[in-house]
Every structure is written in structure tokens, then in C-alpha cells.
Amino acid sequence: MEYKSSKSKDRQSFNDGPKGKHKPKERKQVQVNVGVMVPHGTDLKPLRGKTLLLFTDPDVAAPDLLKQAVEKIGTFIMDMPEGPYVLLYHDCSEVVYVPGSERPFKLSEYKKEVGKPYARITFFICLEKHYKRVDDTSDSDSEIVITTRSTAKFNQADTLRKLVPVVPAVAVEGFHASASVPKKNTTNNADCIVGSDEELDFCDQDSVASSVDSSAEDMFIDDMDPILDRPSSDLYLPEEDYDSKDALQHRKRLCLSSAEGGDRKSENGFYWTETEKWQSSDEADVEPPLLVFTPNQNPGPQILPNRCSSALQFFQLLFPKSMFQTIAGYTNSYAAKYEERKGKLWNFISQSDMKSYVALVIYMGMFRCSSLSDYWSESQHFSLSFPAKIMSYRKFLSISIVLHLSESREDEKNILKKGTAGYERLGKIQPLYQVIRESCKSYFHPFQNITIVERMVKPQAGTGLKQSLKSRSPNMGFKLFALTDCTCGYTWDFFVYEGKSCASRSEGLSYETVMALVDENMLGSGYKLFVDKFYTSPTLFTDLLDKKVLACGPVWPNRTGYPKSVKNKLLSNAPRGTMRWIRQDKLLFVEWKDSREVQMCSSFHKAYEGDTVQRKVRQDAHRTLEEIPVPAVVLDYSKNMEAVDSSDCVTEHFRAIHKPKKWYQCMFYHFLDIAVENAFIMQELVTKENGKKPLTRKAFLQALILELTDIDSLDSAAVPLSLSSSG
């Protein structure tokens, strides 16, 4: 009886009142992340390694969440300074309202607004005096770091942590951050000529990139410019697309609107009124006057027709023969210095050795093995004979490790200047960097249609040079911006992004990048520039018109200068093919509904010229192909950007199996990619001009490898291209 009575009481403890009426279930707690913001110059930055999990109620308000976050972090950080503290979003704004509204903050509403799961939401606490000091003194955005973006296309690659500069330990009023310690090299390379971490320099402290998390970095990943983008709360995607990838990215851009109703004037001087009306495709548009295309030189290769008759000769236009000797000298000097410390002698390499080394790197891109040593396998049935004929495995591996592009004594002098205006961040690649840039511009002049592309240089390369940056590991690697010809894909000019210290704070990185690459004094006038939405802005396009350069591209609808009028604006539920346009001065803005809304800006297109495209449209239970209207700017942009498809990198496979650890070596292999690809393009164009059949890419690479490995005979008598065209 006692047992039955005990069980009865237990059952009753789960009931409230009559049998079957249970107590209401307790509200389930959710998991968020909390971290610490500390001063960094005139900005705030997250303190790395101090992010903790916090379980809280989904309807918690900002004051309660702040209290819980301070208590949580206080239990894990000793000597935590006394408050008061403020609660911040990742963009360093204080948590008071739900972004994009004036509703008081509630965690569940914020989660719905940003479209993230609770586990991916992070808040930060910051001492109030630090927050107020930064808020009062800083008039610029936080640091822009080397990172990845979502819409450009680059090579798939793994995270390269060893390229990130070592950050010294710092302490900020009780918050302590420890420096990253480079791991020792554990690979079994008994034949390698260098052995210590110091000698290998695997974690190069002169790296260009930084991996510090910041709000500017988050914006850069999501295809935004921290200076030009001014998000507004009235920009929402259709409800049916709420959970899509684009919707998640879109909602991250929402914040408090800077203006409510009435006339609006953007910071760059563009003036919009709420009474301006978006026009439909039925309403006529005036075609803007086009600039006459007057290039400073005839577009195409700038070489004499009979000057180059072999693959090697085209290649040495861009990668001069003297550069092989220079790199061999720098490598010998660098290697001998460290061999001397171990009491050993370095076997000096020659210009011919460097050419053979480059030839083998290209060869490995054509014939792929699972490891570097497999190329020198002595298997009776599965060996490759070519590499062993050219160079021993030990010698090839030694060159790979100590490959150097600058004078060691100059590097030491440059390091002493670190922290001063005289410090050259790209000093270790400067000699080859400048030669390749000047050569690419000297021997080719772009055709009328050009574009800006981005490339992330990483040693562990993947499936190609151009893939979604979002799909790759963020924050790692070295970003290059390149001006490319849309007609043939030739890289005419490029530069390595050096980070915050060299970036403009007035116009934004995207603006400065385009202005640096589009040199009208060298190009001429009447060029048409096609860019993606990271670069597109009314300010940029207006200034390009002053340089007599036309431009078009997709644009974020919340970018500074974009029309704010909602009168006759494109509806989210509009059928496919619906378009709206509005013209302001010399710029055309178009909104078009495809599978989603597309916003475009152009300085040389007419709104609609009667073009159509085929799309599958659902009717009842079936999908049928239908012709739907398409704006001319969308059609022209798609055609030219699809033509810019970066070819396979010749060094891609070698970097994947060798994994170079030094940042300047990674840049060397990318410069080699540019030189080889540009040489192939010039060979193709020149041969066609001469009325002959050009080499295929495979035949061109094969010819180049053979010529690089047999320099003496080929220098006296180059193999004519026409003899190898059948390969």
C-alpha cells in the first residue's frame, strides 16, 4: 500500500487539478553565443578565443541578456574589470531595438529578423567607457580585412591558418588574448635542406592578410562595401523566399533606416523624391548617347607578327628570361644563409634549373598524381619517366621549400622599417610582381568590353580560380583584383590588396579598386566596364563617365544613391518578366523579376529594347517554356560576364599536393598562372591573325614544357607553332 501511495503522489506531481490536465510545459531555453569587444585603435574588435555559449529564454530582453552575458563571461575570465557594460551586435551597435525597426529588443524577434538559428547568433559585451570613447572618436568603419565574398567565383580551398600573421599577446583591462603559436613541421622530409620552424618560416609574420573578425569583414563576405552600403528597413524579399540563401544574406543587411519619408538625398549628392515614379516596360525610354570607342592602341596583342614563333617565346614576353636568373640568385642567397647555420653547403641552382622547376610544376598540372613523390616513383608498371629525366626528387623538393623572390638583405632592412611609412608590405614579391604587371600591360591592349574580377590566392587550391568565395574558408588567403578582357579573358592589370592601411576611407574599397585599375590614360575612351554588385554604385558610374568609361552591373537596392521611390515599384509577387525602370541624370536603374528580383544600374543602356529570354513557367501541374521580356542591360551583362571564365590554373594541382607554406611562394605560383594563361591567349590571337590554326591549350602547355626543359637547343632554333598544332 505504501508503494502504491508513493507512486500516486508522483503521478499527481505532474498533474494540475483533475486527472489528465497537466501543468503547462516549461519554456525551452535556447543557445546563443556571447563574447567580448575590446578597443583596437579607434575601433572595437572581438577578443578572440573568449566566445562562450549562453542558454537563455527566447523572449529575453536586452537588459536581462546583458546581465546574463556579464555573469557568464565573469565566471570564465579572472580579474574581469568592473562595469558598467553595454550589450553590442556584431557591428558594434548597441542592442536596444530590433534592427530595422523601433521595437524594443527581444531575442526571438531578432532571430526572426536576421534569419539565423539561435546557435549562430553572437552578442558582445563591452565596457561602457570603451564603447563611448570609440563612439565619440571614431568617424570611420572598422577594419577591412582580407576575406571572401559570396558572389564572385574562385577556387575551392581549405583554410590556411599558417598564412595568417602571428598576433602578439595583448591585455586590455583584465581581458587577456594569447598569441597563436606556429606548429612544428612534422612532415618526414629527411632530404629537406631546412629543418627548424625559424628556417622554414611557415608562419610568415609579414603576411599581407589578417584574420581579425570585424563587422566590415562580415559585410565584405556578403558582397557589401562598409562605406557605400547604407541598408534600409523597407527592403524585404518575398515571403516565399524567406528561407532562401539570398534571403538570409539580404536580412543581414537590415538596420535602422536613416530617413523616413519625404525627400531623400544620399551622401554622394544624388537627390531622390518620393514622388518620382518607376516606369514600366511599355513606357518609352530615351537611349543615352554612346561614347565613341577610341582606344589608345589597336586592341589585341602588341607584338610584331613574326616575333614569336614558339610557346616559350610567348611565355617569355610575360615572364622574361632574366627573371629566371634573378629568382635563382635570390633563392641561392636565401638557402645558403640557412644552410650555413647548420654547417652545411647549399648546392647552388642555375637559371636552367629554375626553368626545369617551372616546367615540372606545369607538367604536374597536366598529369596528376596523388602525392609529390609519385612523380618519381620507381614502380616498373606505374612510374612516370619524364620528371626523373629533368630533375631529382630531392632537388625539386629543396627548391620548392627555399624558393625566394627577393634579396635577403633587403628583406632584413625592410623588417626594421615595420610600423613606419617606409615599410613595404609586398617587399618579398616586389621584383616579380612589378615585372609581371608591366609585361601584361605592355604586350596586349584590351578590347572594348572589360571587367573587374577577384582572385583569392591560397596554396591548397581546389576546382578552379573562380568559385563562390562563400563556399571557401573565410578570412584566409590573399586577395587580388584584376582587370580582365571580356572577349578573351586576358588579365591586363592586377594588384594585391594590402589591407586597411592602404585602403581609402572616403569612397570605399570597391570604388578605389575600380579607379586604380581603369586607367583611361593607357586604355583610351569608350570602354564598357561590367562589374558585379560589390563595385556598382551611382557615384562610381558617374565618375567613370567623367573619365569617358561606360559601366553597368547589378546593384544592391540599399546602396547609397539607389532610388528610394516606392511609387509603381516592382512588387514582390509580380510575374516573371515584369520590369520597372527609372532614369536619373545619365544613369538608368532597372528592376526585373526573374526567379527573384534583379536590380541593375547602367550608364549606356536603354531600359527595354524588345528582347526576350526563355524561362520555365509553372502552369497548373506542368512547367512550360515561355518567352518573357528581359531588359537590355541584363542580357548584355550576362553575355559578357559568362565569357569571363578563368581557365584551369596550371599550378593548381601542384599547390594542392605540395601545400606551400610561405605567402610569397603562393603569389609566385599565381603569377606563373597569369603568365602562362596570358601567353596562351596571345598565341591563339596572333596565330589566328596569321591565318593559321592555333594550338589547343593542352598542345601549348606540352610545347612550353618541352622548350623549358631543353633551353640550349631551343634558344637557337625555336619550334614553330604550326608544326605542333596537330597535338
Nearest to 671 by CA among 353, 477, 357, 434: 434
Asked which of 75-89, 234-248, 616-630, 677-691 is least confident by mean pLDDT, the reply is 234-248
pLDDT value of residue 700: 94
* Torsion, Cα of 521, 512, 154, 119 (10° steps): -170
Rounded average pLDDT over 212-234: 52
pLDDT at 564 over 60: yes
Pairing between β-strand 612-619 and β-strand 170-172 as defined by DSSP bridges: unpaired
d(CA 78, CA 89): 24
d(CA 138, CA 132): 10
Determine the angle formed by the axes of helices 430-442 and 311-318, rounding to 10 degrees.
Answer: 120
pLDDT at 399 over 90: yes
Model confidence, pTM: 0.65
Percent of the chain at pLDDT > 90 equals 35
The pLDDT tens digits of the residues spanning 342-393 come to: 778 888 999 999 999 999 999 998 888 888 899 999 888 888 889 999 999 9
The distance of Cα 628 from the centroid of its chain, to the nearest Å, equals: 34
pLDDT value of residue 471: 43
Q: How confident is the model at residue 625 (pLDDT cuts 50, 70, 90)?
A: confident
pLDDT at 241 over 80: no
Q: What's the half-sphere exposure (Cβ side, CA atoms, 13 Å) at 390?
A: 26
Nearest to 575 by CA among 593, 602, 600, 557: 593
**What does the H/E/C string look like for 27-52?**
CCCEEEEEEEEEEECCEEEECCCCCE
The pLDDT tens digits of the residues spanning 460-477 come to: 443 333 333 444 444 457
Instruction: Copy the grid coordinates of residue 306.
Output: 613574326
Number of CB atoms found within 10 A of residue 269's CB: 11
Tell me the residue length of the chain: 727
DSSP per residue, 309-332: -SHHHHHHHHS-HHHHHHHHHHHH
pLDDT value of residue 134: 61
d(CA 503, CA 499): 6
Residue predicted with more confidence, 157 or 242: 242
**One-letter amino acid for residue 129 of the chain:** K
Helix boundaries (H) for 403-449: 408-416, 430-442
